[in-house]
Chains A and B, each alone.
Chain A
Amino acid sequence: MNDAGRISRKDVIEMSRDGRVRLACIIVVSLLLVALGAGWQQFRTERALRADARAATRIAWLTQTPKNPHSAAHYGIYVFKPTLPLSFVDRGVDSYVGVTAFLEAHRQNDFGARQSQDATSLARFGEWTAAAILQILVPLLIVLFGFSAITGERESGTLRQLLCSGTSPRSIILGKASAMAVVLTTIAVPAAVVGSLAMVLSSGSGTDIAIRTAGLALVYLAYFVLFTLMVLAVSARAASSRGALVGLLAFWAANTLLAPRVLADVSRATRPSPSTFAFNRELERDLASGAPAGDAVQTVRAKGDASEFRQLNVRGLTLEAGERHGDEVFDRQYTALHENFARQNRLQAAGALLVPLAAVRALSMGLAGTDYEQHWDFAQAAERYRRMLVHRMNFTIAFDKTTPDGKPVTGDSLLWKTVAPFTYELPTAIAPLSRGMMPLVALLLWVLGAMAFAYGSATRITPAARGDV
C-alpha cells in the first residue's frame, strides 16, 4: 500500500475511535433520516390532497348546470401544482409560491395559498430538508473533522516524523482527503439508500428521475470534494490549529449565512421588482384602455376569412376581442415580472463564482424540479389551458348558428366535455441545465480551484510552523 493509502487507513481508524467524531456522524445521519422521512411524509400527503382536488374540480366543471358558455368560463376551474418526486429532498421555492390558481375569463390570477404563509415563524427560521443538511451541516462536519488534519500533526510532532520518513506532502493531503471521503460515505450512504427507497416506493422509477437523482448525487459529491480539499489546504497553510479553525469557520459562516442574503440584497438593489401596488395598478390601467367593442369586432373579423366571419354572433366576437386584449396585457406584464426575477436569479448564479453554495443551491433546486423556472413553466402551461378554455367558450357563442344574432347561447354537458382535462408533464432533467450553465460552470471552476489550492498548499507543509525554530 502506498503512503497515501497508509495515511488514509490510519486516519480512518483514528476517527472511528474518536467518540466526538462518532457522535457528530450519528447526529448528522439521524437528522438526515428524519428530514428525509418528514419530507417524504409531507410529499405523500400533499400529493393525495392535490389529486383529490384535481378530480373534484374536473367533476365540478363537467357537472355544471346548462348555462351560457361565457358564464361557464367565469365559473372556471382550479389547477393545482404537481408534487414532484424529488421535492422531498429539496423543497426549493415550493413553500414560497402558491399551490393553486383559479383559471377564469378576463383575468390571469396569480398563484395563491403559499404554504409558508400558513406555517409558523419557526419555519421561516429554516426549512429542514435533506438539502439544507447537506448544504449547511455536512460542510461544517468537514471543517470540524479536517481543520487540524495537518496542523494537529505538526503540533503533536508526528508531521516531522512523517516527512522525515520520505512521505511526500502531496501523499499526506491525498491520504487525509481519502480518509474524509470514507467518513462522509458512511454518512451519505444510509441517507442515499433510504432516500432512493422512498422515492421508488412513491413514484416508481423512470429514466428522468434516475438522471435527476444521479445529478443531485454528483453535485453534492463535487461540493464535498471541494470543501474537503479547501479545508486540507487551509490546514496545510495555517500556523496553528486554532487559526485554521477560526479561518475555516469564518469561511463557512460567510458562505452559508451571509452570502445568500447579500446576493439577494445585491440582486434586489440592481434589479428591483415592482411593488404589488404599482404592478396591480398598471395592470388595471392597461386592461381598462382596451379597444372599444366596435373596433374590436372589426379587428377580429379582419383577421379571418371575411365570408366565414360574416355570419358570426357579435357578442361572441366582442368577448373574444376583449379577451385577446386582456391576453396581450397579461403577457406583457407577467412576462416582464418573470424577466425581472430571472435576471435576479442569473445575477445570483453569477455570484456562484465567489460563493460555492450559490452554485450548489441553484443546481440542487433545478435537478429536484423545485426552482423558480419550473414554477413559471407550470404557470405558463396553466395560462395556455385557461386561454384555450375561454376561447373555446367564446367561439361557441361566436359560431353558434342555431340562435339569432344577439340572443344568448346555452351550453350543456356535451360542451363542457369538449374541454379536455388539464394535464402537465414535468420537463426532463436537461431543462434546468439548458436554462443556464453558469451554476454548473461555477461549481466545476470551484472544484478545479480547490484542487489547485490543495496541490499548491502541499508544498507549504513544513514540520515547524513559520516563525518557530
Chain B
Amino acid sequence: MSAAFRIVLRHELALVRAERAYAAAVLLFAIAAGYAAMSGHSWTAHRRDVTAAIAETGAIENATLAHRLDSLARDTTPPAAFGDPRSPYTAGTRAARQYAVLPARSLSSAAIGQSDLFPYFRRVSMISRETFFVNDEIENPVNLIAGRFDLAFVVVVLLPLVILALSYNVLSADRETGTLAMLLAQPASGRAVLGAKVTARALVLLAVAIVVFAVCLAVSGADVASTAGLAGIAMWMGIVLAYSAFWFALAMVVNVVGRTSAANAVVLFAFWLAATVIIPALVNLGIASIHPIPSRVALVQATRAASDSATASGSQLLGIYYQDHPELMAGGMPTDEFGSRSIAVQEQVERTVRPLMAHFQARLDRQEQLVRRWRFASPAFLVHDALTDIAGTSTHRYRAYDRQVDAYMRELKAFYTPLVVQGARFSAQDLRRIPVFAFQDERLRARLARIVPAIAVLFLSAVLVAWLGLSRAARASALAVR
C-alpha cells in the first residue's frame, strides 16, 4: 500500500463520515435490518411455541392411550374392527399416530425461504402421512405472494442498493465538481485514488454491516454455543462480505467507464435490476420450458385408479399377500381379516403408484438440479439460495424431510404389520416400543461444500471486475475530465 493510497484513504474516510446523505443511507439500512430481525424473532417464537405444543400433545395422547390400553388389558373380549385401540390396525392407523417434526435450525428466521409454504410437522400413521384436514401451513395466499421482510431480503435486495447509493458517483462526483483533476495532479496514481475511495466506503459500510448483522442474527436466535451455529454465522458474514465486494467492484468499473453521476446511477441500477429481477425470471422461464412443473392433477387421477383396482381385488390380494410374506404366517392363520386385507390393498396401491410417484419425483429433482447449476447466473439469487441453505429453509431440506417422513411411515408399517397379521393384541408395552421420528439433518460438511463455492465465485467475480476497473484507471488519462 503506497503512502498516497493511505493519505487518500484517510481523507476519504473523513469525507464519507461527514457526508449526511451517506449517513442517512447507512442508517436506513440499519433500520431495515433491525425491522427484519424483529420480524424474524416473532417468527422464531411462534414456531417454538407450536413445536412445544406438538411435543406436549404427543406426550399427552400417548399417555392417555397407554392408560386406556392398561384398563382394557383385563377385557378378554376380542378387539372390534373399528375404534378399539387393542386392535393393532386401529392403533397403527388412528389411535397411536405419531408426530414427525422438522426442527428449525438456529438461523432459520434469518431467511424464511420456503418455511411459510411447506409444513414442518406431520401426523404419521402406518398407511398415510396426510391425515390432517389442512395439510399445508395456514397463511393468507396474498401474503405468500408478497414475500417476507427477513434478513435475507435485506442482504439480497437492500444491501446492494445501499452500496450503490454510497458509490455510484465515487469518481463522477469529483469529475463533475472538478476536484478529480486536482487529485490526479498530486503524486498519486489513478489506481491508488480510485482504490482508496472505494475502500473508504467499503470499510465504513462493512464495519456497520458486520455489527448490525451480528446483533440481528443474535436477536433472530443464532446459537453461538454449537459448532454448527458458529459455522452458520461465519458463512453468513462470508456471504455478506463477498456480495458487498462484488457490488463495490461493479460500481468501481462503471465509474471508470461512465460519464455523469446520473448515467452511472442508471447503469448500476440496471445491473441491480438484472441481478435481482430479470435474470432469475428468465432462468426460471427457461427451466420451466425445459422441465415444466409436473402437474399433480394427472397424478391424483392415476393414484385413484390404482386404489380403485386394488380395493376391488381386495380378497384376492390378501391371498397373494400371504404368499409373499410367509414370515408373517409363523404364528398360524391370521385372525384380523379386515386389517390384513387393508394392508395388502395398501401395498398393492403403493406398488402400482410407485413408478408414477418416482417419475414425478424425478422431474422435481431434475428441476432442482438445474436451479442448482444455474444459480451462478445471478449473484442475487446465488446469495438468496446460500442464505436459505444456511437457515435450513430451502426446498432441498423440506424435500429431505418428506423423504424421511416416508421412511418413518415404512418403519411404522414394519412395526405394526406382524402384529396385525398375527392378530396380536396391542398393549401399552407395544405403545412404548413404537419407533420415534428423529430428523437426520445433513452434515455441516455437505452444506459447506455447497456454500463455500458460492462465496468463492462471488469473491472471484469481485476481484476480476475490480481488476478490470483498476487496470483501466491505471491510465490516468482514462479518468480525466471529459
Seen from chain A, the residues whose Cβ lies within 8 Å of a Cβ on chain B are 20, 31, 34, 38, 45-46, 49-50, 52-53, 56-57, 60, 65, 78, 80, 92-93, 96-100, 107-110, 112-128, 136-137, 140, 144, 147-148, 241-242, 245-246, 249, 253, 257-258, 260-265, 267-269, 273-281, 283, 337, 340-341, 344-345, 348, 371-372, 375
Query: Which residue in chain B gives the minimum CB-CB distance to A27?
Result: B278
Are the C-beta atoms of B266 and A117 separated by less than 8 Å?
Answer: no
Task: For A276, give its contact among B136, B277, B281 (CB under 8 Å).
Answer: B136
Are the C-beta atoms of A122 and B287 separated by less than 8 Å?
Answer: yes
Task: For A100, give its contact among B139, B283, B300, B384 (CB under 8 Å).
Answer: B300
Give the distance to chain A from B88, nearest Cβ to Cβ, in Å.
22
User: What are 12 residue pairs bridging A and B, where the CB atoms are less than 8 Å apart in the complex?
Assistant: A31-B281, A80-B297, A96-B145, A112-B135, A122-B283, A127-B145, A242-B261, A274-B138, A276-B136, A277-B50, A278-B50, A280-B132
Are the C-beta atoms of B134 and A279 separated by less than 8 Å?
Answer: yes
Q: Which residues of chain B come closer than 8 Å to A93, judged between CB atoms?
A: 141-142, 144-145
Are the C-beta atoms of A136 and B262 separated by less than 8 Å?
Answer: no
Cα of A277 to Cα of B49 in the assembled complex, Å: 11
Q: Which residues of chain B come closer than 8 Å to A50, judged between CB atoms?
A: 297
- Binding stretch for chain A, among B146-154, B220-228, B327-335, B342-350: B146-154
Task: For B296, give its contact among A20, A100, A120 (CB under 8 Å).
Answer: A100
Q: Which residues of chain B come closer than 8 Å to A278, judged between CB atoms?
A: 50, 53
Q: Determine if B441 is an interface residue (Cβ-Cβ < 8 Å).
A: no
Q: Which residues of chain A come closer than 8 Å to B134, judged between CB atoms?
A: 110, 276, 279-280
Query: Which residue in chain B gives the minimum CB-CB distance to A115?
Result: B293
Give the distance to chain B from A71, nearest Cβ to Cβ, in Å.
10
Are the C-beta atoms of B284 and A120 separated by less than 8 Å?
Answer: yes
Are the C-beta atoms of A121 and B114 separated by less than 8 Å?
Answer: yes
Query: Which residue in chain A gives the minimum CB-CB distance to B39?
Result: A265
Are the C-beta atoms of B297 and A49 separated by less than 8 Å?
Answer: yes
Task: For A126, give its contact among B153, B281, B308 (CB under 8 Å).
Answer: B281
| Interface residue tally on B, bucketed by range | 35 or more
Cα of A313 to Cα of B388 in the assembled complex, Å: 59
Task: For A128, give its contact among B114, B149, B284, B305 (CB under 8 Å).
Answer: B284
Task: For B388, give its contact among A20, A121, A249, A262 (CB under 8 Å).
Answer: A121
Give the residues from 251 to 297 in chain B that come closer than 8 angstroms, CB to CB, to chain A.
Answer: 261-262, 265-266, 269, 273, 277-278, 280-285, 287-289, 292-297
A65-B312, A122-B283, A264-B142 known, 8 other contacts, Cβ within 8 Å? A60-B304, A60-B305, A109-B133, A122-B280, A245-B266, A267-B140, A279-B134, A372-B141
Given A96-B145, A120-B395, A107:B293 Cβ within 8 A: no
Are the C-beta atoms of A261 and B296 separated by less than 8 Å?
Answer: no
Given A93-B145, A281-B57, A49:B298 Cβ within 8 A: yes
Give the distance to chain B from A191, nearest Cβ to Cβ, in Å.
16
Give the residues from 14 to 61 in chain B that come closer than 8 angstroms, CB to CB, to chain A.
Answer: 39, 42, 46, 50, 53-54, 57
Query: Which residue in chain B gives the minimum CB-CB distance to A124?
Result: B114
Scan B157-171; emit 1 where CB is below 8 A from any A CB, else 0: 110010001000100
Q: Which residues of chain A come closer than 8 Å to B277, judged between CB atoms?
A: 126, 136-137
Are the C-beta atoms of A113 and B143 separated by less than 8 Å?
Answer: no
Q: Which residues of chain B come closer than 8 Å to A46, judged between CB atoms?
A: 295, 297
Are the C-beta atoms of B266 and A118 separated by less than 8 Å?
Answer: no
Q: Which residue among B39, B294, B296 has the maximum number of chain A CB atoms within 10 Å of its CB?
A: B296
Are the C-beta atoms of B140 and A99 separated by less than 8 Å?
Answer: no
Are the C-beta atoms of A372 and B142 separated by less than 8 Å?
Answer: yes
Q: Which residues of chain A come closer than 8 Å to B153, judged between CB atoms?
A: 261
Q: Which residues of chain A come closer than 8 Å to B284, judged between CB atoms?
A: 120, 122-123, 125, 128
Query: Which residue in chain B gives the minimum CB-CB distance to A41?
Result: B289
Q: Which residues of chain B come closer than 8 Å to A144, judged between CB atoms?
A: 266
Q: Which residues of chain B come closer than 8 Å to A265, judged between CB atoms?
A: 39, 149
Query: Which residue in chain B gives the minimum CB-CB distance to A144?
Result: B266
